[in-house]
Amino acid sequence: MKNAIIIMQRELRSYFTSTIAYTVAAFFLFICGYLFFSVLAATQEASLRYMLHNAAVTMLLIAPALTMRLVAEERRSGTIELLMTAPVTDTQVVIGKYLGSLVFFLSMLVLSLQYPIILMRLGSPEMGPMFTGFLGMFLLGAAFLAIGLVASSLTKNQIVAAIGAFAVMLLLWIVQWAAGPTATGWLPEVLRQLSVLGRFDNFVKGVVDTRDLVFFASLIGFCLFLSVRALAAVKAR
């Protein structure tokens, strides 16, 4: 774990000195602020439900932008050779990198906590759904960052990593469309189960379902496993 933390710290240092990370954070907070203002002005409702529902779309852009560099850049520049010849395991490298992106994302999310605070000063919002809404946002982001990490582990090219991650995320976003609202049978059911958007919406509505938690946890676990395998493949090539 110590080694993973060391690698995480380096990733964080790299985020906080990179223009991409600041651009992404500014973009996220600007969109959140815009949504917050326009939803509040239109509905006069002390709720973050519509804002969070819409702000989630930004994750499709944010996650690839934050993760594309993680492994791809190290493979391109050759610094991967430093990591893989140091006495650290592939798993520690993957976990360290993942935690780095997760902590940066979390710090962005913490900055967006200003909106619930503003609501609490202006009115009396329901605390439960606001809390679960942010939890949902965190889990969605965490899952997407894990997908982005897999994409970045598979190539030396950051652009390819970003586009690959975006494609997979978008597909998971809309995968239930193929099932339609009423179709029955195992395939439509599987497609509906895969939909990240439906699960995220449950959190925004204030519903914390264990199945949703398990879904996000297994998606993250599976992606980290794939990333470790991808790194090991660099060695065996």
In 3-state terms, the chain is what percent helix, strand and coil (to 5)?
Answer: 85, 0, 15
* Sole binder of other proteins in the list 12, 60, 61, 88 (CB under 8 A): 88
The answer to the question of residue 86 lying near other proteins (CB under 8 A) is yes
Cβ atoms of 198 and 192 within 8 Å: the answer is yes
Indicate the residue among 15 and 200 with the shorter CB distance to other proteins: 15
Q: Residue 77 interacts with other proteins (CB under 8 A)?
A: yes
Which has the closest alpha carbon to 197: 130, 112, 136? 136
Whether residue 161 contacts residue 72, with contact meaning beta carbons closer than 8 Å, is answered with yes
Nearer to other proteins, 19 or 44 (CB): 19
What one-letter code names the amino acid at 191?
L
Decide: is 12 part of the binding site for other proteins (CB under 8 A).
no
Of 42, 44, 185, 237, which one interacts with other proteins (CB under 8 A)? Answer: 237
# residues contacting other proteins (CB under 8 A): 24
Judge whether 149 and 221 are in contact, CB under 8 Å.
no
Q: Is 3 in the site for other proteins (CB under 8 A)?
A: yes
**Does 6 contact other proteins by CB under 8 A?**
yes
Write the interaction track for other proteins spanning residues 125-164; mark x where CB under 8 A is met and - where it is not.
----------------------------------------
Q: How far is the CB of 100 from other proteins (least distance, A)?
A: 13
What is the DSSP-derived secondary structure letter of residue 68? T
Closer residue to other proteins, CB minimum distance, 25 or 32: 25
**What whole-number distance in Å separates Cα of residue 146 and Cα of residue 151?**
9
Length of the chain: 237
Token output for 94 = 């993957």
Comparing CB distances to other proteins, the nearer of 6 and 120 is 6
CA distance 72 to 159: 9
Which residues here bind other proteins, judged by CB under 8 A? 3, 6-7, 10, 13-14, 17-18, 77-89, 235-237
